[in-house]
Amino acid sequence: LPHTVFHFKVLFCRRKFSLQSLQLSKLGIYFHFCVTRMNAAVRAVVRMGIYVGAKVYFVHEGYQGMVDGGDNIKEATWESVSSMLQMGGTVIGSARCKDFRTREGRLKAAHNLVQRGITNLCVIGGDGSLTGANLFREEWSGLLAELVQQGLIDEEASQKYSALHIVGMVGSIDNDFCGTDMTIGTDSALHRIIEVVDAIMTTAQSHQRTFVLEVMGRHCGYLALVSALACGADWVLIPEMPPEDGWEEKMCQKLSAKRAGMKRLNIIIVAEGAIDRNNKAITSEHVKNLVVQRLGFDTRVTILGHVQRGGTPSAFDRILASRMGVEAVLALLETTANTAACVVSLCGNQSVRLPLMECVQMTQEVQKAMDGKRFEEAVRLRGRCVSYSNFNVAVLNVGAPAAGMNAAVRSAVRVGISEGHKMFAVSDGFEGFYKGQIKEIKWADVGGWTGQGGSLLGTKRTLPAKHIDKIAEQMRKYNINALLMIGGFEAILGIMELLAARGTYEELCVPMVMVPATVSNNVPGSDLSIGADTALNAITDTCDRIKQSASGTKRRVFIIETMGGYCGYLASVGGLAAGADAAYIFEEPFDIRDLQSNVEHLTEKMKTGIQRGLVLRNENSNENYTTDFIYQLYSEEGRGVFDCRKNVLGHMQQGGAPSPFDRNFGTKIAAKAMQWITKKLNESYRKGMKDNKDSACLLGMRRRAMVFQPVVQLKDETDFVHRIPKEQWWLKLRPLMKILAKYKTSYDISDSGQLEHVVLRRPKESEAMAAI
């Protein structure tokens, strides 16, 4: 960008910008940038680029296409990225390129870009691809000078295209790139793994078999570790933390103990790059032979291989890639000649920009440490010293069931037991509490819970206020010293009612913590809730199938009703993941004029060749503009252009096995909640808790981190009438959905990422994970 225009752009963009107000074309400014790999990210970059007035180009076949030029570099259009959101892999191709590793190859690539006036690159790949992009940027001025010297370009072109700007997005199923919590593709790979594990567990259970599953991860054990947590595996082997000497005997003892405890199957997860402390490979076949020779168990090996790379992308990956794609375009718009190449990353629930090479160098340092045998302390899978206490902790589910609740209960029970507590399970929420449906729950009782949907403890919407005296009596009877509640809006109402009764009942003066679990994601104090990701995947999968049902037929629009009460999270974020044209929610009031405008917009799109439209409606978005009303309006107004169909998804959004994200999230957040309970019990059990508001908290994901928040502070943040938070982060994603659906709208970038430096993370909670 010319310097003066850049300053105008930045000042204007601190709040909102729109194409109409910025008038890029009248300024004579066009951005040219290319995208390589990953369909949801490609779609977001193309449409956001076109939205801000840019010319966007595809580079087919990765760096090889950039070197070869010709038809490998083509201008992208809005329609060219239609119907690619639900497709796996990359429709523009990807290839390893030896030529680009040479200066001669990079010279050809530079020539091909300058010929088309391209000076901005959005590169999606791993550390190798991003390192190559950064080298290309550093050599750019020298490459242009060489092109001028060879007479391939003139001096004017060299001056005009003197700077190359680069923004990276990390696409890797291994999640092996430092600086981001999750890379594009990882969650989908976890879906493939968990689908296979869930299927294998049924046959293993029937035949009393041990299965050794090998998953990808040559240098990174993320897939192995998280899938082991998500499926409740008995043993996991990863490259970063080789097992201690003698691990073979310990593993066999654990497997044997499980069988002795009447468990009919064993699951062992092995990363393909698993090694021992001498850097010797530990293969899945070696693990199988150990089990057969030492225990005589019927054992099978399953190597998942490239199954993990294929398939339909998960809802999480679609949303992540869409958010990162838009952030990448914004980063390119704000670059100057002196701006370092950056990578767009995810920290918690927040988009951040980090210096590309700092991330690459830290990623490479991990491998150097492993090569030098400087391993982190081994995960203590068994045998920790436990100082048993007299504390009793009760766990209960409250409200509607949500996939991932069982994973959270399992995690809480096992972490609690490992920290010396006696754990009690309360059936049927507060109703079961006051009725005395309470029993001790032990380590083996929660085996196999991780992958099961619903609530195995049972859950009801009953609130405690009318039964406080009976609940206090039960707490006294079982000597309950702390409470962990896992649930939705009813859970936060319940903990508030218990807190209000502390002045009357001393038994309630104990640490209480709530973990959010609801498909509606309407709990104040947390960006995310257990169960919401599974519901989003159900919505996305259903929308994909519904749209596919119209393939080859005449033009058709589908009206889909989602759950959520008054909270529009599922409709909005599900719409973003499914590529919806509109999503009607309570938080953004709409009238007949908005409906008419949406119909006209869809009509115009259909005339350009688009065959299918998708409209989502939250169940309580408007009492008058019902799903039937909207269906009839679209049917009438679209007559002659498209026809309509409607679907009410209903409780299918609550059912099914939890997604890998919800299993992992439920496991981690419940473990953190139990650590907080232990800390509070050891610090000041019942000492001043009557007036200590910090002893009753909600643990939620806030932007970048999980945070404990006193529930009394959440009252002012809550709309109790409609059971939603007063401010909801995902509302900022709605303009993104509209932009990607070709609406002319404004986009708020006040919360977009700013360039930061990579910092070392705090030590991981390995002890809690080991206990699980």
User: Per the annotation, does 277 bind a ligand?
Assistant: no
Q: How would you label 653-680 residue by residue, b for 16+ Cβ within 10 Å and e otherwise?
A: bbeebbbbbbbbbbbbbbbbbbbbbbeb
Which helix (H) or strand (E) is 492 found in, with range? helix 489-500
Rounded Cα gap, residues 318 and 309, in angstroms: 15
User: Per the annotation, does 592 bind a ligand?
Assistant: no
Sequential DSSP letters for 344-372: EEEETTEEEEEEHHHHHHHHHHHHHHHHT
Taking residue 750's Cβ as centre, other Cβ atoms within 10 Å add up to 9
Q: At what angle do helices 569-578 and 315-333 cross, to 10 degrees?
A: 80
User: Per the annotation, does 141 bind a ligand?
Assistant: no
Taking residue 429's Cβ as centre, other Cβ atoms within 10 Å add up to 28
To the query of whether residue 154 is one of the catalytic residues in this protein, the response is no
User: Per the annotation, does 210 bind a ligand?
Assistant: no
User: Per the annotation, does 300 bind a ligand?
Assistant: yes
User: Per the annotation, does 125 bind a ligand?
Assistant: no
Rounded Cα gap, residues 689 and 271, in angstroms: 46
Q: 362 near 188, Cβ under 8 Å?
A: no
User: Per the annotation, does 272 bind a ligand?
Assistant: yes
Q: 32 - beta bridge partners?
A: 55
User: Per the annotation, does 307 bind a ligand?
Assistant: yes
* 477 token code pair: 């009877």
User: Per the annotation, does 564 bind a ligand?
Assistant: yes
* 610 token code pair: 């688009």
Which amino acid belongs to residue 627? T
Which amino acid belongs to residue 302? T
Q: 471 near 493, Cβ under 8 Å?
A: no
User: Per the annotation, does 306 bind a ligand?
Assistant: yes
User: Per the annotation, does 522 bind a ligand?
Assistant: yes
Q: 661 near 482, Cβ under 8 Å?
A: no
User: Per the annotation, does 323 bind a ligand?
Assistant: no
Q: 127 near 364, Cβ under 8 Å?
A: yes
User: Per the annotation, does 519 bind a ligand?
Assistant: yes
Q: Which of 570, 573, 585 is nearest to 653 (CA)?
A: 570
User: Per the annotation, does 129 bind a ligand?
Assistant: yes
- Annotated catalytic residue, options 68, 99, 174, 544: 174
User: Per the annotation, does 96 bind a ligand?
Assistant: yes
Rounded Cα gap, residues 588 and 772, in angstroms: 42
Instruction: Give the torsion sign (CA, 518, 522, 524, 527).
Output: positive
User: Per the annotation, does 723 bind a ligand?
Assistant: yes
Taking residue 278's Cβ as centre, other Cβ atoms within 10 Å add up to 8
Q: Distance between alpha carbon 633 and the CA centroid of its chain, in Å?
A: 36
What is the bridge-based pairing of β-strands 392-398 and 482-487?
parallel
User: Per the annotation, does 622 bind a ligand?
Assistant: no
Q: Which of 411, 420, 410, 415 is nearest to 385 (CA)?
A: 420
Q: 708 near 545, Cβ under 8 Å?
A: no
User: Per the annotation, does 174 bind a ligand?
Assistant: yes
User: Per the annotation, does 173 bind a ligand?
Assistant: yes
User: Per the annotation, does 294 bind a ligand?
Assistant: no
What's the helix, strand, coil split of the chain in %, to 5?
A: 45, 20, 35
Rounded Cα gap, residues 613 and 615, in angstroms: 7
Rg (CA), the chain: 28
User: Per the annotation, does 445 bind a ligand?
Assistant: no
User: Per the annotation, does 446 bind a ligand?
Assistant: no
Q: What are phi and psi of 2, to 5 degrees?
A: -55, 145
User: Per the annotation, does 28 bind a ligand?
Assistant: no
Catalytic annotation, residues: 174
- Binding-site residue ranges for beta-D-fructose 2,6-bisphosphate: 461, 518-522, 556, 563-565, 619, 645, 651-654, 723
- Binding-site residue ranges: 96-97, 126-129, 172-174, 209, 216-218, 272, 300, 306-309, 461, 518-522, 556, 563-565, 619, 645, 651-654, 723
- Binding-site residue ranges for Mg(2+): 127
- Binding-site residue ranges for ATP: 96-97, 126-129
